[in-house]
């Protein structure tokens, strides 16, 4: 008998964040792929952020970046600020024992999921492995919130699981290029205890997702967060979820543009990877 290939669902840190915040929102966004109307200001910020990432990547690859810098004063000032704040990061590898790669891509299979991470820059030598991430917004006040974000947890977890580095040799640093004055950073170290904690949390979340997806095949909806949660006030699916009351009460109107369809989710819409 021929065996059928296992279908893995690809999951990123953003999808894990959404799943943890509200499974129903995950359903609407990733399973149903309901689109919200684009916010032009947000799009513009995203484009500028992508251009900075591209610039850093080109620089790392040894490609010329002067013409980009001359054409864009914002990029020029971010780059100048970053070069002053963290010159050591922009220096080429001191020897051939140091590995440096921008947009470094890794995957890890856990249960029926393919966890995917992309590091803006990975610098690794015989002692340690540093994950670096560029953010084109000011440094946030709340460090612990960033620590709990799945980007921090998943990025270090995947590296520890897919390399020879012990958790204690791994770190992750966010650089916020648009901070007041000069670029600022937040660095997280890692430990075996944190690694075990993340493993436990990840397995729980993915097992839950597995059950929800099974139910979803029989037209069951993924759970909503309990009523009265603040997340609903800012959610574009508040109308669809009948949570508009709460949202309007706070003077925030949910967008109806997302309510494109009442059809039940289609699993075919999720990006899948065949083994
Ligand atoms: S409105 Fe609330 S329950 Fe509905 S998807 Fe958004 S966050 Fe979840």
pLDDT tens digits, one per residue of 116-166 = 999 999 999 999 999 999 999 888 989 999 999 999 999 999 999 999 999
Average pLDDT of span 25-53 = 88
Q: Which atom of ligand 1 is nearest to the CA of 236?
A: 6
Average pLDDT of span 85-98 = 88
Check if 243 has its Cβ closer than 6 Å to any atom of ligand 1. Answer: yes
Residue nearest to atom 7 of ligand 1 (CA): 232
Average pLDDT of span 224-250 = 83
Rounded to whole angstroms, how far apart are CA atoms 160 and 131?
11
Residue nearest to atom 2 of ligand 1 (CA): 232
pLDDT beyond 70 at 169: yes
Check if 238 has its Cβ closer than 6 Å to any atom of ligand 1. Answer: yes
**CATH fold of 9-269, please?**
Lambda Exonuclease; Chain A (3.90.320)
The three-state secondary structure class of 187 is: strand
pTM of the model: 0.86
Q: Which atom of ligand 1 is nearest to the CA of 235?
A: 6
pLDDT beyond 60 at 272: no
Domain ranges of the chain: 9-269
Residue nearest to atom 4 of ligand 1 (CA): 241
Total count of residues recorded for the chain: 275
Q: Give the whole-number percent of the chain exceeding pLDDT 90.
A: 71
Average pLDDT of span 97-122 = 96
H-type alpha helices, 61-187 = 66-71, 73-85, 87-90, 143-148, 150-162
By the 8 A CB rule, do 150 and 16 touch?
yes
**10 CA from centroid of ligand 1 (Å):** 23
Q: What is the mean pLDDT of the chain?
A: 87
Binned at pLDDT 50, 70 and 90, residue 245 comes out as low
Q: Best of 231, 242, 244, 255 to mutate for ligand 1, by most ligand atoms within 8 A of CB?
A: 231
Average pLDDT of span 7-17 = 95
Give residues with Cβ within 8 angstroms of 163, minimum separation 6: 124, 129
Residue nearest to atom 3 of ligand 1 (CA): 224
The three-state secondary structure class of 171 is: strand
């Amino acid at each position: 008998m021929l065996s059928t290939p296992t279908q893995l669902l690809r999951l990123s840190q953003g999808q894990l964040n959404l799943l943890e915040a509200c499974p129903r929102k995950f359903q609407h966004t990733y399973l149903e792929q309901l689109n919200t109307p684009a916010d032009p200001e947000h799009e513009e910020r995203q484009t500028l952020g992508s251009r900075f990432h591209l610039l850093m990547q080109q620089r790392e690859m040894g490609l010329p970046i002067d013409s980009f810098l001359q054409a864009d004063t914002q990029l020029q000032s971010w780059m100048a600020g970053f070069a002053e704040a963290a010159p050591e990061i922009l220096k080429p590898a001191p020897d051939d024992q140091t590995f440096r790669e921008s947009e470094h891509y890794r995957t890890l299979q856990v249960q029926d999921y393919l966890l995917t991470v992309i590091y803006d820059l990975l610098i690794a030598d015989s002692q340690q492995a540093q994950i670096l991430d560029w953010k084109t917004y000011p440094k946030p006040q709340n460090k612990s919130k960033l620590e709990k974000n799945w980007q921090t947890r998943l990025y270090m977890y995947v590296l520890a699981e897919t390399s020879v580095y012990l958790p204690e040799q791994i770190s992750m640093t966010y650089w916020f290029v648009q901070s007041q004055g000069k670029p600022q950073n937040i660095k997280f170290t890692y430990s075996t205890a944190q690694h075990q904690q993340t493993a436990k949390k990840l397995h729980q979340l993915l097992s839950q997702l597995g059950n929800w997806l099974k139910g979803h095949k029989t037209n069951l909806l993924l759970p909503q967060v309990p009523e009265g949660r603040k997340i609903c006030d800012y959610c574009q699916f508040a109308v669809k979820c009948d949570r508009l009351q709460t949202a309007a009460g706070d003077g925030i109107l949910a967008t109806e543009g997302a309510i494109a369809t009442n059809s039940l989710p289609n699993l075919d819409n999720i990006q899948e990877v065949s083994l």
